[in-house]
Structure 1
């Protein structure tokens, strides 16, 4: 006899082992001592000729009517010489392969591989790259098979970014997407790179220097304003150090006690912490050492000199930028602008350009990791930075 809905619903659970309620046509309900109920079917495989059990579904997720329909479909496959269990496995494999070949899955795999190459990306850069995809690309194309994505699909998203007034962001997102597709082509996951020729379709971006000041009197006034900043001591001290060393803001915020050699007055930055992926060494003036030492009672027992107790991480570059804005320097000067200020003034003061470039950690386009000596001109740069620190102090006192 056929089962009824009430019989299935009210079936008693065995005290141990399992029991079966047959519905006919090979379909039965297996009830386990745990209380779980499963729809199954016994059949002889048309391919192996062996007795086989097909797992159809779980009750109550699959009701009696749905189970009978699934059983009928299985019978049709068997009649056509197809093993329904093998068919189910094939469909599952195809579904998994489809997921694995989506743009988002391939992009995350590419990102993970690149992020593990510490000599290429800093952690902060790796985070920015992934976030650009999560914000601008994944919501629309993330679930699409990467081989099915066409040029217009991507260009539409890039133009949307442009129309929002973010031309520079559109170019950066394009660069990331282009690398993902190149990676997919190398792995033979798609036949061609659909975005390879799209750069010319984007509006050109004029590179602008970060806001900065070069007038000696204005530099002195800015330094005095920073000394009087009444925000977080870690932020104030980082801003006080920034003009002396003129490293990138993220490199400054990530300063670690373990990187500092106070006896030699040197700050060693590992290649994984640098934008260009090359180790760097920064001579420390007397003024910088004194400022760093002032942080020891507060953060000396942490990894980072500018430790943020509320997050357990170093302070952010955004905190430096906001402090500059509170001081009234929005669109006038930025933490990154100290690099431009130092470069301009030091060259005007007739210091050798290559000393300045090495101090800025600018890698020449035709130089390789092997030929780049991070300690190049170290003695000359140490003298230059001490004289630069003394010069800044004079400007501050004059102001």
Structure 2
């Protein structure tokens, strides 16, 4: 008969003292508490990877920051993933990577990388004007927004007051720059498609300036 593991109790966990070597207290279904020689108590789950069937461990944090109830909840979540043939460790790594991507790849951060490439092909005066327009109109509104969360409607809403003020040339330049930055994000592998590619069509185009005709 398989050995029946008696669930842990908060009192038992609190009373566990460090020994010369680390040891474990088992709560069942793979969940265990590791007691380190320095006195720290760490939760971990033993499981089999769904595809390779190899044994693996995933850590859940330390006690008492993570309580027994919280550790059991984490175990339940991991078991649910395993039932779907999802490795809980891979799932957690992917979530952490996605969170890091959100914090690092903001619109302003991506715009800076785009600008580093762009300014090599324009005059210093044009580059200065370009960056100033981003700082004035776009960064205050969406500079800290992850680039993958920027949609056409949001960009249009920022530019609409500028169009209403009759600054149509500024509107033209801003829509062009937003489009280029978002295309840069696509080409950098940060987003799958540019949702702002057609925003210029929402606004009236500035009238073309014709050169005066010279009389002979």
What's the TM-score, normalizing by structure 2? 0.66
Paired position in structure 2 for 1:183 = 184
Match of 1:21, SS?
strand
The 8 Å contact of residues 185 and 193 in structure 1, kept in 2 or not, is answered as no
* Separation of aligned partners in 2, 1:204 and 1:76: 57
Q: 2:110 aligns with which of 74, 97, 106?
A: 106
Distance 1:126 1:21, change over 3 A: farther
* Separation of aligned partners in 2, 1:22 and 1:131: 56
Larger Rg: 1
Paired position in structure 2 for 1:159 = 160
Q: Are residues 1:136 and 2:138 paired?
A: no
The alpha-carbon deviation at position 57 of structure 1 amounts to 3.0
Distance 1:33 1:174, change over 3 A: farther
* Separation of aligned partners in 2, 1:46 and 1:193: 37
User: Mind listing any 5+ residue stretches in structure 1 that lack a counterpart?
Assistant: 208-399
Paired position in structure 1 for 2:87 = 83
Map 1:218-367 → 2, pairs under 5 A: none
How many pairs align? 200
The alpha-carbon deviation at position 175 of structure 1 amounts to 3.8
Paired position in structure 1 for 2:212 = none
Match of 1:20, SS?
strand
Match of 1:145, SS?
helix
The alpha-carbon deviation at position 40 of structure 1 amounts to 0.2
What's the TM-score, normalizing by structure 1? 0.40
Q: Are residues 1:54 and 2:58 paired?
A: yes
The 8 Å contact of residues 13 and 32 in structure 1, kept in 2 or not, is answered as yes
Distance 1:154 1:48, change over 3 A: same
The 8 Å contact of residues 159 and 202 in structure 1, kept in 2 or not, is answered as no
Distance 1:32 1:176, change over 3 A: farther
**Pairwise CA RMSD:** 4.0
* Greater relative contact order, per chain length (Cα 8 Å cut-off, separation 6+): 1
Q: Are residues 1:145 and 2:148 paired?
A: yes
Which whole-Å deviations, capped at 9, do the CAs of 1:101-136 have from their partners, x for residues lacking one? 664553343234445x39654785575355243213
The alpha-carbon deviation at position 56 of structure 1 amounts to 2.3
Q: Are residues 1:69 and 2:73 paired?
A: yes
The 8 Å contact of residues 37 and 58 in structure 1, kept in 2 or not, is answered as yes
The alpha-carbon deviation at position 34 of structure 1 amounts to 5.0
Q: Are residues 1:5 and 2:10 paired?
A: yes
Paired position in structure 1 for 2:3 = none
The 8 Å contact of residues 110 and 147 in structure 2, kept in 1 or not, is answered as no
Paired position in structure 2 for 1:266 = none
Q: Are residues 1:19 and 2:20 paired?
A: no
The 8 Å contact of residues 154 and 195 in structure 1, kept in 2 or not, is answered as no
Paired position in structure 2 for 1:201 = 203
Q: 2:34 aligns with which of 30, 38, 42?
A: 30
Paired position in structure 2 for 1:365 = none
